[in-house]
Chain A
């Protein structure tokens, strides 16, 4: 199956839901005009990132008009949108929702909330407690939000759960402009490129990394969104720093070809992994 995948590399406005709803709707119209089938927005694309005390003010519950309005945008193309989710008992989560055919299909709550250095997420939102692959019209997919992707254990679980498409909405701040390694460029971008490439190649899956742009309180989000083939090769890469709709054709037959060339999934030993993890767990519990 061939389809057009896209990353909407946008710069949402901080805490301005109305402006961001319009921004998202505009990108959906642009993507529709290009015939895009799957459009992935960055992390917290509906709200902006450094929300702090704004979190409860911009939070949305699942069965609300706000969600139905976004779902309605997915009549013609599938959508991944990042937002602040409020649970029935008023927990707040950094979530990303998958919409298809006008319906909400799946929500991933970010599991690993960076709370160190310039990040303060766990002060404001709660931690998700699961990662699940889910069925889409493009096959089985999973969502990991930004820091989640720095935990290969989550990517491994998603792959074992059947995900052949890994969707990574992100809001990664730019840092590290040293030339010391001789390459130049952003240090954080180099690390991300090796992460996405590793997942694509090791799990023979397509990866859509959608990273935002713009500045919040002096912090730049660098963009550089990517769509990668199951061979590990980038199919398309967005510019650093500018708004862009990154579109490329994805052919699911390439998953098959990659698995023939490199049958890591066939050889993956779930029992060994579980046995060793249980042993480690027992030893940690003393």
Chain B
């Protein structure tokens, strides 16, 4: 039942038809129109997001931050925003390679740290991951990928306690909507500055704040095996995904309106299915109601309660 655990390593299951290797193509005009509407005012957005980190973190009496630096663009943007919010000396990027990771990922992560001036820490996750899978040698990529994401999470939260730092999230709106992440793994954080930016907006804002070009321009990848890329797994580019998601979610186009615009039905339905099936990842665990006042149902307080 891979769909119940969809993450970066199982999504291709939804697109494992003969044309899987070919990316879904879309009329250029549809992409261009959406991209133009998605273009953000960089100074404004970066200011709001750095302000968000500073305010929400300072309110709880913390001034330090920690985040996982993968060498990818999402964690790079979060790192730059965190450095801007609290000063780079208060930000630690933890680089957590696995023995099969592409060495370029670590090099890119170091380049991000160097340019943003944040501190780094290297923790090789191979011993703890391999020790576990020695007992389960038949585990597939889905299980291995999830395990790695969750090992990294436990390391970040240990650093959170060690440094007195809050964990900064690195999940963007596209992957949150598609469920393209590991629940309680890379999706775990205290504050997420980039969760309302689509992937293509992450790229745009990353350029704006000065993320190194080698990071902005490389193909996004979960880096589990050589040559793996997100877009091959998804079956379409992030421009295509964002054009559909933006019209569907932000602009609330109906299915008929999307098809009328020229979006192919398989694409629209595939994306709609992913969004719906991953809803559980965007909510707290369900609580069975018994009392008159149940947490999150009729006991409702902001997280910033009294702050």
Let me know if B39 and A178 touch, CB within 8 A: yes
Q: Cα distance A241–B47 when bound, in Å?
A: 9
Q: Cα distance A186–B41 when bound, in Å?
A: 9
Q: Is B52 an interface residue (CB 8 A)?
A: yes
Tell me which residues from 20 to 72 in chain A have a Cβ below 8 Å from any Cβ of chain B. Answer: 50-54
Q: Is B306 an interface residue (CB 8 A)?
A: yes
Q: Is B151 an interface residue (CB 8 A)?
A: no
Residues on B with beta carbons closer than 8 Å to the beta carbon of A179:
39-41
Residues on B with beta carbons closer than 8 Å to the beta carbon of A286:
none
The stretch that binds A, out of B107-115, B172-180, B269-277, B295-303, is: B295-303
Let me know if B45 and A14 touch, CB within 8 A: no
Q: Cα distance A16–B305 when bound, in Å?
A: 8
Let me know if B41 and A16 touch, CB within 8 A: no
Let me know if A216 and B52 touch, CB within 8 A: no
Residues on A with beta carbons closer than 8 Å to the beta carbon of B36:
180
Given that A53-B299, A53-B301, A217-B303 are known contacts, is A186 also in contact with B51, CB under 8 Å in the complex? no
Q: Is B155 an interface residue (CB 8 A)?
A: no
Q: Cα distance A177–B51 when bound, in Å?
A: 15
Q: Is B44 an interface residue (CB 8 A)?
A: yes
Q: State which of B37, B44, B56, B306 has its C-beta within 8 Å of the C-beta of A15.
A: B306
Let me know if B306 and A241 touch, CB within 8 A: no
Let me know if A54 and B40 touch, CB within 8 A: no
Let me know if B300 and A53 touch, CB within 8 A: yes
Tell me which residues from 217 to 267 in chain A have a Cβ below 8 Å from any Cβ of chain B. Answer: 217-218, 220, 241
- Mask: chain B, 68-104; 1 = CB below 8 Å from A; 0 = not: 0000000000000000000000000000000000000
Q: Cα distance A52–B306 when bound, in Å?
A: 12
Tell me which residues from 120 to 166 in chain B have a Cβ below 8 Å from any Cβ of chain A. Answer: none
Residues on A with beta carbons closer than 8 Å to the beta carbon of B303:
217
Let me know if A215 and B52 touch, CB within 8 A: yes
Q: State which of A14, A174, A186 has its C-beta within 8 Å of the C-beta of B302.
A: A14
Q: Cα distance A177–B300 when bound, in Å?
A: 29
Let me know if B39 and A218 touch, CB within 8 A: no
Q: Is A184 an interface residue (CB 8 A)?
A: yes
Residues on B with beta carbons closer than 8 Å to the beta carbon of A13:
306-307
Q: Is B26 an interface residue (CB 8 A)?
A: no
Given that A178-B37, A215-B55, A220-B51 are known contacts, is A184 also in contact with B44, CB under 8 Å in the complex? yes
Residue of A nearest to B196 (CB): A218
Q: Cα distance A220–B52 when bound, in Å?
A: 7
Q: Is B256 an interface residue (CB 8 A)?
A: no
Residues on A with beta carbons closer than 8 Å to the beta carbon of B56:
215, 218
Q: Is A156 an interface residue (CB 8 A)?
A: no
Residues on A with beta carbons closer than 8 Å to the beta carbon of B299:
53
Provide 16 A-B residue pairs closer than 8 Å at the C-beta atoms, listed in order of the A residue.
A14-B304, A50-B302, A51-B302, A52-B300, A52-B302, A53-B300, A53-B301, A177-B48, A178-B37, A179-B41, A184-B44, A185-B44, A186-B44, A217-B304, A220-B52, A241-B48
Interchain residue pairs A-B with the least CB separation, the first 7: A184-B41, A215-B55, A52-B300, A179-B39, A180-B37, A177-B45, A217-B302
Given contacts A13-B307, A178-B41, 20 further A-B contacts (CB under 8 A): A15-B302, A15-B305, A16-B306, A52-B301, A52-B302, A53-B301, A54-B301, A54-B302, A177-B44, A177-B48, A178-B38, A179-B41, A180-B39, A184-B41, A184-B43, A185-B44, A217-B304, A218-B191, A220-B51, A241-B48
